[in-house]
Amino acid sequence: MGYDVTIEEVRGIHSRASIDYQIEILLLLAQQGMMSTTAIAKAIADRYGLDPDRTKFACLTYLKRLCNKGEVMRTEFRDEFNRKTVYYELPTISESGLHRLMVEKVMVLAWKLNLPVEKRDDVDLAIGEVGIEIETGKKDRKLVPRPGYKEVWVVVPKRGSEEKIS
């Protein structure tokens, strides 16, 4: 008759219709921590045998809904070349994945410049007598004086985050 659809294709269509993207996204973020949209879409696509590019659109739709409900936090991060990456993570009271990523990025940049960077208890990082605080902009913060440092630099993920720090 003209039916050129295989059982596998029918199963693929059926499985796509039954994916609960909201649950999948929340489970991934609970397991993996902070992830980009591309990483989330790839993980779901790999699990269900789907095209990652098509899956990404559905993920973006559900991520927006989850962010609007406060179930997921969205953060834009700009690297040293001003390239933007959007990361998502579950809300938490402990140190965020973004904070850890930013500390790591600053350390790598300092090492590339042959600067003696180290982690400290009273500031996130220090390079000689300069203290470095990483602030993600998730909370309003008051900067407190840091004795023992000539200067304290505050690193934020993007323009506008500095407004939450006074």
What residues have CB less than 8 Å from 32, skipping those under 6 apart? 39, 43
Strand partners, 84: 78
The per-residue pLDDT for 6 is: 52
Mean pLDDT, consecutive 10-residue stretches, the chain (166 aa), reads 48 58 92 92 93 90 92 85 88 72 87 90 89 77 79 79 49
pTM over 0.75: no
The per-residue pLDDT for 79 is: 77
The per-residue pLDDT for 88 is: 93
Copy the structure tokens of residue 22.
């909201």
The per-residue pLDDT for 2 is: 47
Q: How far apart are CA 93 and CA 43, in angstroms?
A: 26
The per-residue pLDDT for 163 is: 53
Q: How far apart are CA 46 and CA 55, in angstroms?
A: 10
Q: How far apart are CA 136 and CA 103, in angstroms?
A: 10
The per-residue pLDDT for 11 is: 46
The per-residue pLDDT for 53 is: 86
Domain ranges of the chain: 7-75, 95-164
CA angle 143, 146, 147 (to 5 degrees): 155
